[in-house]
Amino acid sequence: MAFIEWSEGLQIGVDAMDTEHRALIDAINQLEASLDSGEERSRTIQMVARVARESKAHFASEEAAMANAGFPGAALHALKHQHMAAQILAFLTRYSRDTSALNGHMLKFLSDSLTHHIRNEDAIFGRWAQERAKL
């Protein structure tokens, strides 16, 4: 069983964003598997870096889509992304110096913050975009 299971509850109805969300969840699941299997530290650092890279790329893509669509909540959404990105970078920096720093706390943060953000923040944009498409 995957650490984070993809479900319909995580779909926001914007195909490009749903695809990126699945990729982020996959990256987090692979990081969790790497930690569980006791892979070498260098491999785990690569997995954390992948999560950070994919998060950054996804946030930029999502923010551009929101801005291009004229979404009124785009600026606030970008601030929330900045906060999440800073926390991910802090975990990566801490782990690159101290192998014990990457633990269940980071995985719980990644899982909880991503799924909460998708269900509660991204879903607002999804509903807004779907309503605009009906006009």
pLDDT higher than threshold 90 for residue 48: no
Q: Which residue has the tokens 């606030």?
A: 76
2 or 103, greater pLDDT: 2
Superfamily of domain 14-134 in the CATH hierarchy? Hemerythrin-like (1.20.120.50)
Complete DSSP assignment for 53-112: HHHHHHHHHHHHHHHHHT-TTHHHHHHHHHHHHHHHHHHHHHHHH-GGGSSHHHHHHHHH
DSSP SS3 for 6: coil
pLDDT single digits (tens) 71-108: 999 999 999 999 988 988 887 777 777 766 666 777 88
pLDDT band at 127 (very low <50, low <70, confident <90, very high): very high
108 or 20, greater pLDDT: 20
Q: Tell me, what's the pLDDT at 100?
A: 65
Q: How confident is the model over 33-58, as a mean pLDDT?
A: 85
pLDDT higher than threshold 70 for residue 60: yes
Q: Rounded to an integer, what distance in angstroms lies between the CA atom of residue 47 and that of residue 115?
A: 19
**pTM metric for this prediction:** 0.88
